[in-house]
Amino acid sequence: MTDYKNPKHIVITGATGEIGGALALEYAAPSVRLTLTGRNEARLREISELCRKKGAEVSFKIIDVHDTELLRCWIRDLMAQDPADLLISGAGQNTQIGEDLSMEPYGDAVSLVKTNLLANLALIDAAVPEMRRRKSGQIAIIASLAAYYGLVYTPTYCATKAALKSYGTSLRTLLDPEGVGVSVIFPGYVDSPMCRAMPGPKPFLMKADRAARIIRKGLSKNRARISFPFPLNLGIWFLSIFPYWLANPLARIFGYGRNGR
C-alpha cells in the first residue's frame, strides 16, 4: 500500500531546475532517500549536497531525457533495485513565438515535445509495471495551468501540457484502483529561468519553495490535480470552458492577446 504522507524514496527528474530543486529540498530529511536527475552536473552536485545537509541520503544521475532508451533502462533498473515510492517527472522546457509574431522555431518546438511529452511517456511507461506489481507507488506529473487554455505566446508548450493533463487523468483512472497514485500538477507562474524567459504577464508569481510546499501537501493527500494559485486557476478554468468568442477577448484584457506584449 502506498504511504502518500511519508514517501521514503523519491525520484525527481528536472531536479536541477527551480521547482525540482525546491521539491528535493522540501522532501530532504533523515530517513529519506532522494534520487535526482538533470543534465547540469554542477547543479546536481550542489542540490545533492544541500539535501544531504538536511539528513537525506542522495544519489544522482546525469540524463538528457531526450535519450528515452537510456531514461527507460535507468528507471527500470532503479525500480527493480530500489523502487521509487514517489516519482516526480519535472523536466521541462519552453519556447515561444517571435517578437515579430513569427511561429516558434520548428526545431525548438520538436525538442520541446520530446522533453515535455515524450520523455514523460517514456519514463512513466517504464516505471509503472513495477509499481503495479507491488501495488504501491505514486507518480507526479508536472504540467502547468497553461494546460487549460492555449496562450498565444507559447503554442507548443500549452499543447504538451494539455496532453500531460489528459495522459495523467487517464493513468489516474487506470492505476488508482490498483493502489498506484497519479497526480497531475498545474502550477501557475513560479520564479525560474524558464518562467523568466517567457513573454507575457506573470500574475501571482510565486517562489519555488512555496510551490514545493503546495505540491507536497497535495501529493500527501493523493490529489488527482494539484492546481495553484487559486485565483489564476479559477481564471484559466473559466477560459477553458467559455466559448472562444468570449474567452479570447477576456484573455486579451489580461495581457494574453496577440499584441499584448
Ligand X SMILES: NC(=O)c1ccc[n+]([C@@H]2O[C@H](COP(=O)([O-])OP(=O)(O)OC[C@H]3O[C@@H](n4cnc5c(N)ncnc54)[C@H](OP(=O)(O)O)[C@@H]3O)[C@@H](O)[C@H]2O)c1
In the beta sheet, which residues pair with residue 184? 141, 225
- Closest contact distance (angstroms) between CB of 17 and ligand X is 2
35 binds ligand X (CB under 6 A): no
Strands (E) in 143-205, as ranges, are: 180-187
The C-alpha cell that represents 166 in the structure block: 489528459
Assigned C-alpha cell, 260: 499584448
109-168 residues in contact with ligand X (CB under 6 A) are 115, 142, 144
**By CB under 6 A, which span of 2-10, 85-93, 122-130, 226-234 interacts with ligand X?**
85-93
Compute how many residues bind ligand X; rule: CB under 6 A: 26
Please tell me whether residue 18 binds ligand X under the rule CB under 6 A.
Answer: yes
Among 20, 168, 218, 235, binds ligand X (CB under 6 A): 20
Residues in the chain: 261
Q: Residue 207 and residue 15: Cα distance in Å, rounded? A: 16
Q: Scanning residues 213 to 252, which ones bind ligand X (CB under 6 A)?
A: none
- Which CB, 2 or 90, lies closer to ligand X? 90
- C-alpha–C-alpha distance, residues 248 and 152, integer Å: 10
CA distance 142 to 21: 13
Residues of this chain that interact with ligand X (CB under 6 A) are 14, 16-20, 38-40, 64-66, 90-93, 115, 142, 144, 187, 189-190, 192-195
